[in-house]
Amino acid sequence: MARSDDPAGQAGPGGDVTGAAPADPTTSDAPDGVGVGPWPGGPDAWPRLPGTDRLDPRYDPELLAHGDRRNVVDAYRYWTVEAVVADLDTRRHAFHVAIENWAHDLNIGSVVRTANAFNAAGVHVVGRRRWNRRGAMVTDRYLHVHHHADATALARWAATAGPDGGRLPVVGLDNVPGSVPIEGYPLPRSCVLLLGQESTGLSAAAQDVCDVVLHITQHGSTRSLNAGAAAAIAMHTWMVQHVTPPDGAGPR
């Protein structure tokens, strides 16, 4: 089986980057009414490097001139995509998220958007290279998105992707026989959270590469949660276990 996880652009160690190419920075990816106008005061007031007349390189002249309606927190208004990614890279969390993609799953975009919100180390698409980006709301631009041909390729990547070149545990998420409740389970600090295809759940091959398969305990009549909801719960569970919110934390 051919390996499909050689870097092909900006990325951390491992899989081939599948994110979209840089786009027009003035393009809106936010709902109507969201965003800011041109930088107040015009070009003479644009942020400069201390003691110089040079523009702070984090800022995009097009956004400063025309406004910024992207789906980013206020702290990153007017910044270039590259500057945002570089800043996020200084504080990525130690978990990765992987999802199987055998039938162009519409939930992948939602998973990617949530991974961005929790600043995951990376997102891994397993199976088909093309995935539905609509639900991602362009948040994939600020993540490292990788592709692996199948679960075996993902496991091969994880074998050396952990701290100091060690192995990253693969934690599956599905309500299959033998799975363990996620509630109270100590998630590894460095790990891969692996979800299956929406309609079929984790494939047998994916289950085989997992160190453990967890399920989210349900109390209603539905047989399962959709992959986007399950991914959000799992990522938040990891955050609760490993990240202490800063004092006064809130929307930025």
Q: Could you give the CA distance from residue 62 to residue 59 in angstroms, rounded to a whole number?
A: 9
* Residue found by looking up tokens 């786009």 in the block: 23
The SS3 assignment for 162 reads coil
- Label residue 153 left, alpha or beta by phi (over 0 means left) and psi (-120 to 50 means alpha): alpha
> How far, in Å, are 61, 124, 139, 145, 219 from residue 97 at the CA level?
34, 6, 14, 10, 25
Q: Where in the chain is the domain with CATH 3.40.1280.10?
A: 92-242
Q: Is the pLDDT of residue 53 over 90?
A: yes
Query: What pLDDT band is residue 133 in, cutting at 50, 70 and 90?
Result: confident
Residue-wise pLDDT tens digits, 195-229 = 998 778 999 999 999 999 999 999 999 988 999 99
The SS3 assignment for 12 reads coil
Taking residues 170-191, report their average pLDDT.
98
| pLDDT at 171 (0 to 100) | 99
| pLDDT at 24 (0 to 100) | 44
Angle, alpha carbons 126-132-135 (nearest 5°)? 115
- What class has domain 92-242? alpha beta
Residue 155: φ, ψ to 5°: -65, -35
Q: Range with the lowest mean pLDDT among 10-14, 111-115, 181-185?
A: 10-14
CA nearest to 20, candidates 125, 137, 140, 135: 140
pTM check: above 0.75: yes
- CA end-to-end distance (rounded Å), the chain: 45
Q: Is the pLDDT of residue 52 over 90?
A: yes
